[in-house]
C-alpha cells in the first residue's frame, strides 16, 4: 500500500457524447474550475481567435470538431483529475473506444433538444461491455428541448441504464430558471449569458418556504415541489455502490456554455467517482496498489508539434510508480527502455514529469518503438487485454502524386496509421497500399496531414471492399493456398498479419463455407506480435 495516498487522490475519466452535444464546451468549463485555463476558447467562432483548449490539430480548428483524444490534467479541491476529451464524430469512434479502456469512469453529455442520438448508443454499448460507471450531464437546458420526464424515460429506454437525478431543472428554454440540488437541498438560479456563481446559490431548508416562491414565482415553485416529491419518491438517496457497479447513472441538468450546473457535477464527481481500478492482463489481475510499475499504451499521436516531428505514445499507469530515467521492460519487444522527458498534458501544453502514479496518463517520446496495446512492466511478461482493433468499412487505394516524395509518403502512412484511426494493408503480390477506415472524414484528415506534415501529395481511390477480416489457420498450407488463389483480395496489415478483403457479405460467407479450416476474425487484439 506504498502509494495509496497518491492513488486516493486520482480520478481518471473520459467525456463522451454525440457530436455537437457540448462535450468540448463542458471540458473547458471543468478546466476553468480547476484553474487549468483562464479563458475558455470560443469553439467554432471565426470572430474570436482563441480555440477550444482541447482541440489541438490544425484540421480540428478549421472544422470545429474534435478528431483526436486530448489528455488534460488539473487539480480540483485536492483531487488530481485526468480528463480525456474524446472525438464525438462517429468517423473517429475507434479512437474513443480505445480511450474508454484507459479510464475508470465516464461523463456522458446529452443534448436536451435532440435527446439520445446514434453515437450516444454506440458509446454506451462500450461502457456497458466494460461495466464503466457513468454520470449523465443533460446539456443546453437554456434551449427549448424535450420535457424533462420524457427525456429521462428516453435515456433509460434507449441506453438500458437506470438514472438517478441529482439536480432537477426549473423549466427549460427561455423559461429556464435554474436547478434544484436534490442532494444538498440548494437552489441555483439561472440568468442567461452570465456564469453561474455562488451569488446565485440559495440553501433551501424547506421547499415549502415562501422564499422559493419569491425567487422563481408561485407557479414554478408549485411545479418544482411536485416534481421533487415525485423524484424523491421514486429514486430516494443515491447508493454510491450501485453507481460504481454501473447499475445506476447519476444525472445533472445544466448549460455548459453558460457554465451552469457544471460545479454541481464536478463536486459530485470527485465525491463518488471511482479511484484507479484493477485491470485484467494475459496472466493475472493487476491492481493499482502493487509496488511494481505496469501500464499500457492506448493512443499514439504523430507530430503533436509539427515543428519537431515528435511522436508521443500515451500510456495509462495501472500499478506502481513511473519514474523518469528509470528502465522499464517493453514486453512485446522484450527489451528495456527508459524515458528522459516524460510529459503530462494540458492539451498542447506539455510539461515534463518526474513521476506518475496509477490513474495518470504519461506522454512518452517515441521513436517508433510503440504500438497501441503495448505494455511496460518492471520485468514481468504480460499484456493488458481488451484493447480492440476493429474491421474497417471503407477502403481506398493510396496513389502517390509525387514520386519524388515516396520516402515521405511511406513514413507518413506508417506513422499516421500507428495512431490507430486507420489501418494500412499491402495487397498480396504487389505493392498496392490500401487504407481502411471506419468513416469518410478519416480519409480527409489523413490526406490533409500527409500533405501538411510530410509534404506527400496523394490521391485516394475508393475500392469495392466491404470488410477486412484477419485470417488464421492451424494448417499453414491451407493459408498459403488461399492467399495464392485470392491474391487480389488478400494482403497483410502492417504487422504482417494476413487479411482477407471481402467484396460483399455474400463473398465473405462463401469463402467461410468453402474454407472451414480457415478462421475469419472481425477484430484483432492489438497485442499480437
Q: Assess whether 373 and 457 both reside in one domain.
A: no
**Which secondary structure element, helix H or strand E, spans residue 460, and what is its range?**
strand 458-462
CATH of the domain at 139: 3.40.50.300
Q: Assess whether 355 and 437 both reside in one domain.
A: no
Instruction: Tell me if 497 is assigned to some domain.
Output: yes
Angle between helices 148-159 and 118-129 (to 10 degrees): 50
User: In the 3-class helix/strand/coil scheme, how is 378-413 assigned residue by residue?
Assistant: CCCCCCECCCEEECCCEEEEEEECCHHHHHHHHHHH
Q: Assess whether 74 and 179 both reside in one domain.
A: yes
Instruction: Tell me if 251 is assigned to some domain.
Output: yes
Instruction: Tell me if 215 is assigned to some domain.
Output: yes
Torsion sign (Cα): 357, 360, 366, 371: positive
> Cell 427549460 identifies what position?
172
What is residue 64's predicted lDDT score, i.e. its pLDDT?
Answer: 46
Question: Would you say 441 and 93 are in contact if contact means Cβ atoms under 8 Å apart?
Answer: no
Q: Assess whether 407 and 495 both reside in one domain.
A: yes
Q: Which of 327, 352, 377 is the last residue of a domain?
A: 377
Instruction: Tell me if 382 is assigned to some domain.
Output: no
Radius of gyration of the chain (CA): 25
> Three cell numbers at 177?
430558471
How far is CA 442 from its chain centroid?
16
Q: Assess whether 234 and 291 both reside in one domain.
A: no
Q: Which of 348, 377, 406 is the last residue of a domain?
A: 377
Backbone angles phi, psi at 98, to 5 degrees: -70, -35
Would you write out the chain's pLDDT as a tens digit for each of its 529 residues?
Answer: 678 999 999 999 999 888 888 888 898 888 888 776 555 443 333 333 344 544 445 544 554 443 344 778 888 999 999 988 776 555 555 677 778 889 999 999 999 999 998 878 878 887 887 899 999 999 999 999 889 999 999 999 999 999 999 999 999 888 899 999 998 888 888 876 655 555 567 777 788 888 888 888 999 999 999 999 999 888 888 999 999 999 999 999 999 988 889 999 999 999 999 999 999 999 999 999 999 999 999 888 765 555 545 678 889 999 999 999 999 999 999 999 999 988 876 544 567 888 999 999 998 888 778 888 899 999 999 999 877 666 788 899 999 999 899 899 988 888 888 777 788 999 877 778 999 887 787 788 889 889 988 899 999 999 999 888 889 999 999 999 998 888 889 989 887 889 999 999 999 999 999 999 999 987 665 434 4
Instruction: Tell me if 498 is assigned to some domain.
Output: yes
Instruction: Tell me if 453 is assigned to some domain.
Output: yes
Question: Would you say 423 and 413 are in contact if contact means Cβ atoms under 8 Å apart?
Answer: no
Q: Assess whether 309 and 214 both reside in one domain.
A: no
Instruction: Tell me if 332 is assigned to some domain.
Output: yes
Q: Assess whether 370 and 394 both reside in one domain.
A: no
Q: Assess whether 447 and 323 both reside in one domain.
A: no
Give 18's Cβ-side CA count (13 Å radius): 16
Question: Would you say 184 and 130 are in contact if contact means Cβ atoms under 8 Å apart?
Answer: no
Extract the runs of DSSP E, i.e. beta strands, from 304-387: 311-319, 322-323, 328-330, 335-337, 343-346, 349-352, 355-356, 361-365, 375-377
What is residue 100's predicted lDDT score, i.e. its pLDDT?
Answer: 86
As a whole number of angstroms, the distance between CA 196 and CA 189 comes to: 8
Angle at 339 between CA 338 and CA 344, to 5 degrees: 145
Q: Assess whether 46 and 76 both reside in one domain.
A: yes
Instruction: Tell me if 383 is assigned to some domain.
Output: no
Q: Assess whether 90 and 213 both reside in one domain.
A: yes
Domain encompassing residue 342: 279-377
> Three cell numbers at 185?
437541498
What is residue 312's predicted lDDT score, i.e. its pLDDT?
Answer: 82
Q: Assess whether 209 and 111 both reside in one domain.
A: yes
Q: What is the total count of domains within the chain?
A: 3
Q: Assess whether 250 and 132 both reside in one domain.
A: yes
Q: Which of 329, 348, 377 is the last residue of a domain?
A: 377
Q: Is the pTM of this model over 0.85?
A: no
Amino acid at each position: 500500500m506504498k502509494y495509496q495516498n497518491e492513488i486516493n487522490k486520482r480520478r481518471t475519466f473520459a467525456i463522451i457524447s454525440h457530436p455537437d452535444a457540448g462535450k468540448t464546451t463542458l471540458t473547458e468549463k471543468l478546466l476553468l474550475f480547476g484553474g487549468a485555463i483562464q479563458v475558455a476558447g470560443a469553439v467554432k467562432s471565426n470572430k474570436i481567435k482563441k480555440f477550444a483548449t482541447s482541440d489541438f490539430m490544425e484540421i480540428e480548428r478549421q472544422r470545429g470538431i474534435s478528431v483526436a483524444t486530448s489528455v488534460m490534467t488539473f487539480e480540483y479541491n485536492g483531487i488530481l483529475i485526468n480528463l480525456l476529451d474524446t472525438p464525438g464524430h462517429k468517423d473517429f469512434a475507434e479512437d474513443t473506444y480505445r480511450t474508454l479502456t484507459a479510464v475508470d469512469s465516464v461523463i456522458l453529455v446529452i443534448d436536451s433538444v435532440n435527446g439520445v442520438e446514434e453515437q450516444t448508443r454506440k458509446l454506451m454499448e462500450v461502457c456497458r461491455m466494460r461495466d464503466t460507471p457513468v454520470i449523465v450531464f443533460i446539456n443546453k437546458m437554456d434551449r427549448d428541448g424535450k420535457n424533462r420526464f420524457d427525456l429521462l424515460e428516453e435515456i433509460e429506454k434507449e441506453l438500458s441504464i437506470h438514472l438517478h437525478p441529482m439536480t432537477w431543472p426549473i423549466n427549460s428554454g427561455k423559461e429556464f430558471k435554474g436547478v434544484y440540488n436534490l442532494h444538498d437541498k440548494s437552489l441555483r438560479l439561472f440568468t442567461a449569458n452570465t456564469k453561474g456563481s455562488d451569488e446565485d446559490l440559495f440553501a433551501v431548508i424547506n421547499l415549502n418556504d415562501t422564499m422559493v416562491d419569491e425567487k422563481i414565482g408561485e407557479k414554478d415553485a408549485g411545479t418544482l415541489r411536485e416534481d421533487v416529491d415525485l423524484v424523491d419518491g421514486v429514486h430516494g438517496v443515491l447508493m454510491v455502490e450501485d453507481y460504481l457497479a454501473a447499475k445506476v447513472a447519476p444525472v445533472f441538468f445544466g448549460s455548459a456554455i453558460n457554465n451552469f450546473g457544471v460545479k454541481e457535477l464536478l463536486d459530485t464527481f470527485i465525491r463518488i467517482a471511482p479511484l484507479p481500478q484493477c485491470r485484467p492482463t494475459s496472466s493475472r489481475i493487476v491492481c493499482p496498489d502493487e509496488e511494481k510499475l505496469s501500464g499500457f499504451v492506448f493512443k499514439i499521436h504523430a507530430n503533436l508539434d509539427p515543428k519537431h516531428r515528435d511522436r508521443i505514445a500515451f500510456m495509462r499507469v495501472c500499478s506502481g510508480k513511473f519514474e523518469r530515467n528509470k528502465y522499464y521492460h517493453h514486453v512485446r519487444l522484450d527489451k528495456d527502455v527508459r524515458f528522459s522527458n516524460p510529459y503530462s498534458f494540458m492539451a498542447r501544453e506539455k510539461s515534463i514529469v518526474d513521476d506518475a502514479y496509477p490513474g495518470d496518463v504519461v506522454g512518452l517520446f517515441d521513436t517508433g518503438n510503440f504500438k497501441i496495446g503495448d505494455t511496460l512492466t518492471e520485468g514481468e511478461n504480460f499484456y493488458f487485454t481488451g484493447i480492440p482493433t476493429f474491421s474497417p468499412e471503407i477502403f481506398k487505394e493510396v496513389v502517390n502524386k509525387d514520386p519524388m516524395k515516396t520516402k515521405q509518403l511511406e513514413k507518413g502512412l506508417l506513422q499516421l496509421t500507428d495512431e490507430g484511426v486507420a489501418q494500412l494493408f499491402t495487397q498480396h503480390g504487389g505493392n498496392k497500399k490500401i487504407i481502411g477506415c471506419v468513416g469518410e472524414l478519416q480519409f480527409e484528415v489523413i490526406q490533409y496531414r500527409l500533405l501538411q506534415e510530410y509534404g506527400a501529395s496523394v490521391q485516394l481511390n475508393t475500392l469495392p471492399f466491404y470488410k477486412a477480416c484477419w485470417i488464421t489457420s492451424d494448417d499453414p498450407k491451407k493459408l498459403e493456398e488461399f492467399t495464392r488463389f485470392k491474391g487480389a483480395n488478400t494482403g497483410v496489415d502492417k504487422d504482417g498479419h494476413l487479411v482477407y478483403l471481402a467484396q460483399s457479405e455474400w463473398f465473405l460467407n462463401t469463402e467461410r463455407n468453402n474454407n472451414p479450416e480457415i478462421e475469419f476474425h472481425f477484430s484483432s487484439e492489438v497485442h499480437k506480435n
